[in-house]
Amino acid sequence: MDYLLLFGGFVLLMFSGDFLVKGSVSLAGHFKVSKLVIGIVVVSLGTSAPELVVSLDAVIMGHPDIAIGNVIGSNIANIALVLGFAAIVIPIRVKKTVIHFDWSIMMIVSLLLLVFCLDLRLSFIEGFTFIVMLLVYIFVSIYKSRKHNKTNFEESVTPKLNLFNSFLFVVIASVGLIYGANFLVKGASSIAVELGVDERIISVSVIAFGTSLPELATSIAAAMRKELDIFIGNIIGSNIFNILSILGLSSMVKSIDINPMILKFDIFWMLGISLLLFLFILPLRKGLVTRWKGFVFVAVYCLYIYLTFTA
């Protein structure tokens, strides 16, 4: 039964990822904003939904390690595993705007999370701070995109779906992502618990991998459709949304106690992999994540998982 949940969840995630890309690209045309921003805002919200559901449920049920470990583990997997695997399939070119603005925001938010965790607790006020930052980030992203398109006289994307169907695709895909991730996580968690694995380890590895599959499914679908702005925006945007929206809302619902190992080990891996991404896209004028860099990312992720289980 557990293996059927795994398989069913993966299939549902793949189909939902394709639906989300179609609906999001069409929305870009209707609202006259770049596909990059649609990837950051709409797609990232949809693919972050599984992490949100899992973390909120974990907080309410009294499992703080799962709540924060899921987010940090997913952020690590998004870059090292999802981006790494996709780059092996097709080299990914990175726009300067992604690095100058979005990557910088991701690092600022990640460092702020480290500061907030120093007292081994995420409180209501810290969660509220994250939510305010999230709203500002969304507003600035959309404003910058619309201004850039107007200044450079760029033609808006021609929508392939009408507005209603575009929204319908996004909503259906987001629901599919939630259920698909839940099926996969339930199956994977049951198998892991039977092996007697620690809750923190389960959260940063098995559960984080499961909730990162929407990013993997959506990003591969975007890459296959040559929508690489959506791809990069989804990866970085999901990491920003994971921290700001998921930990923001979760800690506003109930304060989250931080496992010392998460502070000493997992957060620094998340920061280190984010810095590695920056190094891999130098020089910024023609940033490119090539196949060999993709292999390095995947190898780094495997090393992280190995040390997580053996430390």
Measured distance CA(143)–CA(180) in Å, rounded: 33
Phi-psi label, residue 32: left if phi above 0, alpha if psi -120 to 50, beta otherwise: left
Measured distance CA(250)–CA(121) in Å, rounded: 12
Measured distance CA(257)–CA(121) in Å, rounded: 5
Report the chain's mean pLDDT, rounded to a whole number: 82
Q: Domain of 180? A: 2-310
- Percentage of the chain beyond pLDDT 70 is 81
Determine phi and psi for 93, rounding to 5 degrees: -90, 135
122 forms beta bridges with 256
Measured distance CA(193)–CA(311) in Å, rounded: 18
Measured distance CA(211)–CA(174) in Å, rounded: 13
Measured distance CA(62)–CA(215) in Å, rounded: 27
Task: Provide the pLDDT for residue 46.
Answer: 67
CA dist list (Å): 311 to 25, 75, 77, 166 = 43, 20, 19, 47
Nearest to 73 by CA among 309, 244, 267, 260: 267
Residue carrying structure tokens 């392939």 = 160
Number of H helices, E strands in the chain: 16, 4
- Percentage of the chain beyond pLDDT 90 is 32
Question: Domain with 252 in it: what CATH number?
Answer: 1.20.1420.30
Going by C-beta distance under 8 Å and a sequence separation of 6 or more, which residues neighbour residue 194? none
Task: Provide the pLDDT for residue 153.
Answer: 47
Number of domains making up the chain: 1
Buried b (16+ CB within 10 A) or exposed e, 174-199: bebbbbbbbbbbbbbbebbeeeebeb
Going by C-beta distance under 8 Å and a sequence separation of 6 or more, which residues neighbour residue 231? 39, 86, 92, 219, 222, 223
Task: Provide the pLDDT for residue 171.
Answer: 87
Task: Provide the pLDDT for residue 81.
Answer: 92
DSSP code string of 275-295: HHHHHHT-SGGG-EE-HHHHH
Task: Provide the pLDDT for residue 227.
Answer: 62
What the block records as the tokens of 77 is 């997997």
Own/partner contacts of 191-195, CB < 8 Å, gap of 24 or more, are: 191/2
Measured distance CA(196)–CA(30) in Å, rounded: 50
Task: Provide the pLDDT for residue 134.
Answer: 92
Determine phi and psi for 256, rounding to 5 degrees: -110, 120
Task: Provide the pLDDT for residue 287.
Answer: 73
Give me the tens of pLDDT residue by residue for the chain, a chain 311 residues long.
667 877 787 678 767 777 877 787 787 778 776 666 666 666 666 667 777 777 887 788 788 888 899 899 999 999 999 899 888 878 887 776 667 788 899 999 999 999 999 999 999 999 999 999 999 988 887 777 666 655 554 555 677 788 899 889 888 888 888 888 778 777 777 777 777 778 788 889 888 887 777 777 766 776 676 666 566 767 888 899 899 999 999 999 999 999 999 999 999 999 999 999 988 887 666 678 888 999 999 999 999 999 998 87
